[in-house]
Amino acid sequence: MEKSAGPISPKNRLKRPIATGGSRAKIICLGALCLAVGIANSLATDTYDYRGVCPTPNGGKQILDKWNEWECECTSYVADKLNERGVPFTSRYKGVLWKSAGNWINAATQAGVPYNKTPRVGDVARIWLNHVAYVEAVDSYGDVTISEYNAGHPHDYSTRTISRGSTGYPSYFIHF
C-alpha cells in the first residue's frame, strides 16, 4: 500500500473504496444487534446478597443462606432475585420442597406455580437438567438474556443471551 506524505487530495479521495449500500446495511444491522445485546446485558447487575463471598471463600462449601439454599449456587441466586421482586421465596415456598434445581418443575407443579415454554421478564428459566437462572430480558424473537450463578464461572455471577431454538435454550420458564 502506498503512503502519501501530504493530505489526500479530493481527486485521490474518490479512488478510496466506499462501502456499498449492501455492506452499509449489514454494518448498521450488526451495530444495532450489538447495541441491543449490550443493552440487555447491561440491564443485569449483580445484586445478590452473597456476592461478597462468591466465588470464594464460600463457593462450593455448602453453607446455607437465609432461604435455606446453598450460598453461591444457582438456586440461592434465583431465590435472592425472586425476593428482590417481592416473591417470598424459600426452599419451602408454598409448603413444597424446592431445593435442587432439578426438582423445580415438580415443585412448581405441586405448588400450583405456572410454567411453560414462553419466557417473560422476571421468570425463572430451567436450563439443563439441574440449573436455574433469572430472566432479565426477552426480545421480539424470543431470545432471552439471563443472569445466573454457578454456570460458566464456578460459584460466580454471569449473564448471557440465549437464542430461541439453540441447544442451550431453557426448557421451561416458571412464572412466579
**Helix (H) or strand (E) segment spanning residue 159:** strand 157-162
Beta strand spans in 9-130 (E): 115-116, 124-127
**pLDDT higher than threshold 70 for residue 140:** yes
Exposed e or buried b per residue across 99-113, where buried means at least 16 C-beta atoms within 10 angstroms of its C-beta: ebbebbbebbeebeb
Instruction: Tell me which of 41-45, 55-59, 60-64, 154-158 is least confident.
Output: 41-45
* Predicted pLDDT of residue 8: 55
- Please tell me the least confidently modeled range out of 20-34, 52-66, 80-94: 20-34
Q: Which helix (H) or strand (E) holds 35?
A: helix 21-43
Residue 37's pLDDT band, with cuts at 50, 70 and 90, is very low
Confidence of residue 23 (pLDDT cuts 50, 70, 90): low
The grid cell for 128 is 439443563
Interacting residues of 14 by C-beta distance below 8 A, sequence separation 6+: none
